[in-house]
Homo-oligomer: A and B are copies of this chain.
């Protein structure tokens, strides 16, 4: 027990203990354990613990190990009942229990498999498939998705949307997204197919009941639409191997989930929903961030025709970035000397379920860190940038997302998101087009959509009480006798500190810069508060109308920056329960409730605050994204501003040929570096 850190995910033993405690509560009821995960200790307790830890006194008292457990049981009235519990593992005690009426758990993949089976074996579905008169050799694939609320139905029970595709090749890895069918079915909670209809296949079409035979002209060459090497022509052979060798081993060390690298220390966490989380991030012993994580992502489609507005995925809240994390050894996702972290999820009966290699940790060379040549002497000093990468990859049906934290020797952090995988497709008549999609193959429409991520930044810049400063660069007035600017070239910075919780926007035209500062700690050289600035990813915010369900359910997508007071239960800016949600539970509703509550403090100045950065991309597909898209990269940065006494990487050793062993391509001779 003493080896477990309060931030460490639950061990298999702890999962078993939690299951046991909960099962006692639901004897005879066969609870479906949706998740058993760590409930991170209250921050106030953790801050005190981290301080004791820092002083070597962590044995004195440790926060309780609490499990958050979500179960579904069939209640007396026959319907499913969602219950969330907190279990104090070591005391074997249920310390909190809450029935969530009207809320849904996240996607149950076993249930979705049952939906798929119920759908494909439904008589009416089989009949409609026959009417399609599909080509010889076709096999139909059903892909159930969660139903994104559109206001057309009662959301109190689950409804699954079944989208239909087909394969023509007899290969389970054939890209069925290349053959979207115009069939659609809805499946009820009870696994009954309640509706079957046909999808619109042109701009003016609407949902219809009448089947149309599948247009054989849609059948196209597999070369256009297949990505799997077993189906593709032989790959190019021009690319020669490129290997990374680290002859003296890795620079980072790990001790359990503690990672130490080049003055950085941090703890790796992982949970079913956020995937990779990072905790207690320090540089040279100084506190920087209490916690960093992806807190939500939303992928709404922009096709207005029913039922496509039901395609809008919360890939964290609905699916779980942890649950859907790839096993990273299977496919050579990382280069060099690699450390993998496993995670533990649970089965529906509450047994521990190992998820191997969900996080990889490795280093990369990132080019030149800094350089100066004294032109007077010709002496050049070059230092190369080594970065530490902590990476995870998720697959959510058709799409993949790569999430990576990069740590620099200059005390910078970058969060890189890459979108790859396969576009979601819909049927379209040959020769047609629509104003909200791209035709990527005969009969295949790739609808416009957005990817909107929320990076949750819980700072602790030299301590927990921080402020958010907004700084802009403005020209000094020209021609104003009271302001000295005789040549019209002067400019200055204007700053204000955000007082209360709210949403804010980016403006590069004013060089608007958001800095998280500690007003109680002043840099003695610059005489300004110590801080870290956000290097944002400039992105279009949600396009859906504010009154739409897309907007009401994804409140965080309204602004690029949010600042809130820290609360132990506020992790998810679209709300705790996103499946078939109705809105009103996200970050702006939370802020509004507090603003309207006279007993609530909404001050975010010199307080324990959280910053949420919304970023992403408006993805209007291009043919180059088909059949699988080259990754599109989105980057967010966090950089020190007047936090240190100078360049934190000043002491990194100069780049030398002895270490680097570069060679000349013509002769394979080693490169001569004058600095040696």
**Which residues of B lie under 8 Å from residue A147 when comparing CB positions?**
none
**Which residues of B lie under 8 Å from residue A373 when comparing CB positions?**
326, 331, 395, 400
Interface size on A, residues (CB 8 A): 181
CB of A526 within 8 A of CB of B624, answer: no
Interchain CA distance A438-B442 in the complex, whole Å: 60
**Which residues of B lie under 8 Å from residue A491 when comparing CB positions?**
302, 436, 448, 543-544
Q: A486 interface residue, CB < 8 Å from B?
A: yes
**Which residues of B lie under 8 Å from residue A400 when comparing CB positions?**
371-373
Q: A179 interface residue, CB < 8 Å from B?
A: no
CB of B240 within 8 A of CB of A246, answer: yes
Cβ < 8 Å to B, chain A residues 632-676: 639-657, 659-666, 668, 671-675
CB of B306 within 8 A of CB of A486, answer: yes
**Which residues of B lie under 8 Å from residue A420 when comparing CB positions?**
368-372
Chain A positions 377 through 391: 1 when the CB is less than 8 Å from some CB of chain B, otherwise 0: 111111011100000
Closest Cβ neighbor of A533 among chain B residues: B622
Q: A309 interface residue, CB < 8 Å from B?
A: yes
**Which residues of B lie under 8 Å from residue A649 when comparing CB positions?**
630
**Which residues of B lie under 8 Å from residue A181 when comparing CB positions?**
none
Interchain CA distance A312-B487 in the complex, whole Å: 12
Q: A127 interface residue, CB < 8 Å from B?
A: no
Q: A14 interface residue, CB < 8 Å from B?
A: no
**Which residues of B lie under 8 Å from residue A448 when comparing CB positions?**
473, 491-493
Closest Cβ neighbor of A644 among chain B residues: B624
Cβ < 8 Å to B, chain A residues 390-449: 393, 395, 397, 400, 402, 404, 408-412, 418, 420-422, 433, 435-436, 438-442, 448
CB distance from A476 to the nearest CB of B (A): 6
Q: Which of B235, B380, B440 contacts A330 (CB 8 A)?
A: B380
Interchain CA distance A170-B274 in the complex, whole Å: 56
Cβ < 8 Å to B, chain A residues 305-335: 305-306, 309, 312, 326, 329-335
CB distance from A145 to the nearest CB of B (A): 13
**Which residues of B lie under 8 Å from residue A339 when comparing CB positions?**
664-666
CB distance from A635 to the nearest CB of B (A): 9
CB of A365 within 8 A of CB of B473, answer: no
Chain A positions 348 through 364: 1 when the CB is less than 8 Å from some CB of chain B, otherwise 0: 00000000000001110
**Which residues of B lie under 8 Å from residue A369 when comparing CB positions?**
420, 630-631
CB of A642 within 8 A of CB of B661, answer: no
Q: A236 interface residue, CB < 8 Å from B?
A: yes
Interchain CA distance A251-B371 in the complex, whole Å: 28
Q: Which of B618, B631, B641 contacts A511 (CB 8 A)?
A: B618
CB distance from A676 to the nearest CB of B (A): 9
Q: Which of B243, B545, B639 contacts A661 (CB 8 A)?
A: B243
Partner-binding segment picked from A90-98, A547-555, A578-586 = A547-555
Q: Which of B229, B372, B493 contacts A654 (CB 8 A)?
A: B229
CB of B538 within 8 A of CB of A538, answer: yes
**Which residues of B lie under 8 Å from residue A547 when comparing CB positions?**
478, 488
Q: Which of B402, B485, B489, B511 contacts A368 (CB 8 A)?
A: B402
CB of B620 within 8 A of CB of A642, answer: no
CB of A525 within 8 A of CB of B439, answer: yes
Decide yes or no: A545 and B489 within 8 Å by CB, A240-B246, A244-B242 being known contacts: yes
Decide yes or no: A370 and B173 within 8 Å by CB, A306-B486, A436-B491, A623-B642 being known contacts: no
**Which residues of B lie under 8 Å from residue A664 when comparing CB positions?**
337-340
CB of A439 within 8 A of CB of B371, answer: no
CB of B489 within 8 A of CB of A304, answer: yes
Q: Which of B243, B438, B492 contacts A246 (CB 8 A)?
A: B243
Chain A positions 516 through 558: 1 when the CB is less than 8 Å from some CB of chain B, otherwise 0: 0000000101111000000000111101110111110000000
Chain A positions 100 through 126: 1 when the CB is less than 8 Å from some CB of chain B, otherwise 0: 000000000000000000000000000
CB of A645 within 8 A of CB of B224, answer: yes
Most chain B beta carbons < 10 A, residue from A377, A400, A657: A400
CB of A301 within 8 A of CB of B671, answer: no
Q: Which of B300, B385, B645 contacts A489 (CB 8 A)?
A: B300
Decide yes or no: A243 and B660 within 8 Å by CB, A227-B381, A490-B303, A666-B339 being known contacts: yes
Using A172-B374, A332-B657, A488-B548 as known contacts, list a sample of 5 further A-B pairs with CB atoms less than 8 Å apart, ordered by residue number in A. Answer: A232-B651, A241-B248, A331-B655, A475-B545, A624-B647
6 contacts between A and B (CB under 8 A): A329-B674, A491-B543, A526-B622, A623-B646, A624-B644, A628-B650
